[in-house]
Structure 1
Amino acid sequence: MASLINKKLSHICDTVNNTDSYRILRGRVNGVGYSPDARLMPYLELAGFGSAALTRTFDLRYDLISALVERWRPETHTFHLPCGECTVTLEDVALQFGLPIDEDAVTGVSAIDEPAALCYSLLGSSPGDAESTFSELKFTWLKANFQHLSDNATEEQLVCAARAYIMHIIGGVLMPNSNNNKVHIQYLPLLTDLRSVRSYSWGSAVLAMLYPMMYQKKRLTRQQI
């Protein structure tokens, strides 16, 4: 293990038990911020996001997370851990979020030609007019438009709200970006038919996003306390 750790930087595990202060990452907990309407659960289950929709925020041990991040090696895109320690695996993602892991890769077009038309088609509303060009949806907009549903909401409105909640889960919990308050619209076309959403390996996509994000945090958000 000694050869796998950069000797120019003292590893956090060398000082974590000392009385001196040690490096630790800033903690940031993401979440949707509201629970889905009970009427949306059948549609979320249909799409394979029923368990992920029940994810809630919780307290984290940032010192332990810092130690794990320090074990990430960009050369091999994995964690290098001594025998007896454990790492995050695809099975962990499947068990904790209930996401499919054996299906097709999550892929698509990153640039949408008519984002407003796409939003009107799949969400029933759009944050911009027909002439607007945008690539992300704000969580504040999703929450304002889809948190509260009328008592006589139609099935089409419920399906649109379910898509909006899945978008919020993807950008707010599963695959957050540096903005931390928006989700890229590239995921929306994958939610066109809720019955086919579970045909994608969302668990693999979450794990693939987790590793680079942890390495980025190691480089950009390390601080001394």
Structure 2
Amino acid sequence: MGQYRVLRGRVNSVGFLPDERLIPYLELVGFGSAALIRTFDLRYDLISALVERWRPETHTFHLPCGECTITLEDVALQLRLPINGNVVTSVSLISRPVILCYELLGRSPSEGKFTSLRFSWLKDNFEHLMSTANEWEVMQAARAYIMHLIGGVLIPDANGSMVPLMYLPLLSNLHNTRSYSGGPQC
């Protein structure tokens, strides 16, 4: 038997709690439960053991008791995310990211071309919502928090510090977002 190696994990989180005024919007889009994720207590030795038993040919884990796999339904049940709805396969290139950010977030991190939003920018601009914020400003902050959830918890990237801008258009109408399969993270 070969050398057993324990993987090192990378865990991201949003890093701040949502303002209570954001909760109804997080619930509306189906991210109310995902917003409650605060910490991850991962057992890297167990994850490493599962990786060793993964068979890419069949997309299953080969265990002494038989084969098993993790399904979208398993993930949806754990995170309480909607999975029945319109499929999101990709978002076309965003030609004017500055305008998109101003329309949906009320501000933009840059005046040039960019394809991602930094978590630090989201936190700096949306962690503290003014007490006089109107409904539109609360919705902007909810979009920013959801973007942070997508990139920090649900679909983290390799460096763990940004979320692709391609998800933001899916949040343009928060009342329709829940109609996507798996919310906007697919």
Structures share fold, TM-score greater than 0.5? yes
* Kept in 2: contact 1:105–1:205 (CA 8 A): no
Letter in 2 for 1:193: N
CA distance in 2, matches of 1:84, 1:77: 13
Q: 1:135 to 1:44 in 2, by over 3 A?
A: same
* Kept in 2: contact 1:49–1:99 (CA 8 A): yes
Structure 1, gaps ≥5 residues long: 1-8, 16-21, 207-225
SS at match of 1:173: helix
Letter in 1 for 2:134: T
Q: Aligned residue for 1:223?
A: none
Structure 2, gaps ≥5 residues long: none
- The root-mean-square deviation of aligned C-alpha atoms, in Å, is 2.0
* Kept in 1: contact 2:151–2:157 (CA 8 A): yes
Q: Aligned residue for 1:161?
A: 141
Pairwise CA distance, 1:40: 0.2
What is the TM-score of this pair, normalised by structure 1? Answer: 0.77
Q: Name the count of aligned residue pairs.
A: 186
Structure showing greater Rg: 1
Q: Does 1:26 align with 2:26?
A: no
Q: 1:205 to 1:150 in 2, by over 3 A?
A: closer
What is the TM-score of this pair, normalised by structure 2? Answer: 0.92
Q: Which moved more, 1:135-144 or 1:50-59?
A: 50-59
Letter in 2 for 1:63: D
- Select 1:69's aligned residue among 40, 43, 51: 51
Letter in 2 for 1:161: A
Q: Aligned residue for 1:135?
A: 115
Q: Aligned residue for 1:150?
A: 130
CA distance in 2, matches of 1:105, 1:71: 30
State how 1:23-172 maps to structure 2 within 5 Å.
Answer: 23-83=5-65, 86-129=68-111, 132-172=112-152
Letter in 1 for 2:49: A
Pairwise CA distance, 1:76: 3.0
